[in-house]
Amino acid sequence: MSLLEVKNISKFYGNIIALKDITTSVEAGRVTCVLGDNGAGKSTFIKILSGVHQHDEGQFLVEGQPVRFTSPRDALDRGIATVYQDLAMVPLMSVWRNFWLGSEPTVGVWPFKVVDQTTAKGIAVDELGKMGIDIRDPDQPVGTLSGGERQSVAIARAAYFGAKVLILDEPTSALGVKQSGVVLRYIVEARRRGLGVIFITHNPNHAWPVGDRFMILNRGRSMGDFDKSELDLTELTRLMAGGAELAQLQDELAEAMESTD
Ligand code: ADP
């Protein structure tokens, strides 16, 4: 059974069609990539899955059960965690505090409860280690980590707190080549640990090496939902660029060039 499935879902903002008839699924230990240019409907799609918005048509199933989330808390309770590009992190706060963000284990009995720092730091270091991140000093401010590493703290936290589905919102779009590689490695690691990953991106070169499934959005509509065996990077890039539109643009530009010769 799929961890998460959407069948023909649509979303309208007034008379704007933000999404129309979108179908895809997310399996445990698999990466579903959602590709699309600006305005394609990627954010709208994430907002529906993460409980920020509700779909207007179609079906949204979590582990086979139809759901309709009314808040991000509902989605989290069903094991769907979203890591946003602008991370909810406090740069001057230590790595371990950012890992726990208020849910630290405690010792003692109320009113003498205090954070169990040794346990909290130990778990944070262990969990980050499982994602392949070697943090020597959990007391170092999270702001001293690289962009890729910071996202990995958020991913490790989500996994530790029971996420089954991890939604990554354009995790590589603000990063350079090397840092993007760091994030792609964490995606593979999350997959290896059995999480279902939804990787939102506009970069087919980032999606291709880590993806198992590819859903391409173009102006709110799906250009198809493919298994990796059904296409290749060239075809993915063509679909992503809106094939026919790109061909037309090339023709127009060629004509314009000729007319100035
Ligand atoms: P993407 O994340 O791929 O850039 P969005 O999901 O943000 O795309 O947008 C899809 C479409 O829905 C766009 O045409 C956008 O203008 C429109 N849209 C998004 N949010 C709203 C909103 N709150 N109200 C009206 N239109 C919206």
CA 143 – ligand 1 centroid, Å: 31
In the chain, DSSP assigns E strands to 4-13, 16-26, 31-36, 57-62, 65-66, 80-83, 106-107, 114-115, 165-169, 196-201, 213-218, 221-227
Peptide bond between residue 209 and the one before it cis (omega within 30 degrees of 0): no
CA 219 – ligand 1 centroid, Å: 9
145 falls in which pLDDT band (50, 70, 90)?
confident
Reply yes or no on whether the pLDDT at 119 is more than 90.
Answer: yes
Reference 170, options 27, 17, 34; nearest CA is 34
CA 100 – ligand 1 centroid, Å: 32
CATH class of the domain at 4-88+163-260: alpha beta
To test ligand 1's pocket by mutation, which of 12, 33, 43, 222 has the most ligand atoms within 8 angstroms of CB? 43
CA distance 73 to 66: 17
CA 18 – ligand 1 centroid, Å: 6
The DSSP symbol for 172 reads: T
Q: Residues lining ligand 1, CB < 6 A?
A: 13, 16, 18, 36, 38-44, 220
CA 43 – ligand 1 centroid, Å: 7
Reply yes or no on whether the pLDDT at 247 is more than 70.
Answer: no
Percent of the chain predicted with pLDDT > 70: 97
Atom 16 of ligand 1, residue of closest alpha carbon: 39
DSSP β-ladder status, 213-218 and 4-13: unpaired
> Which two three-digit tokens encode residue 137?
């000093």
Cβ 213 vs Cβ 31: under 8 Å: yes
pLDDT at 81: 93
Reply yes or no on whether the pLDDT at 26 is more than 70.
Answer: yes
Q: pLDDT digits over 37-67, tens only?
A: 888 999 999 999 999 999 999 999 999 999 9
CA distance 103 to 130: 20
What are the extents of the domains in the chain? 4-88+163-260
The mean per-residue pLDDT over the stretch 154-174 comes to 89
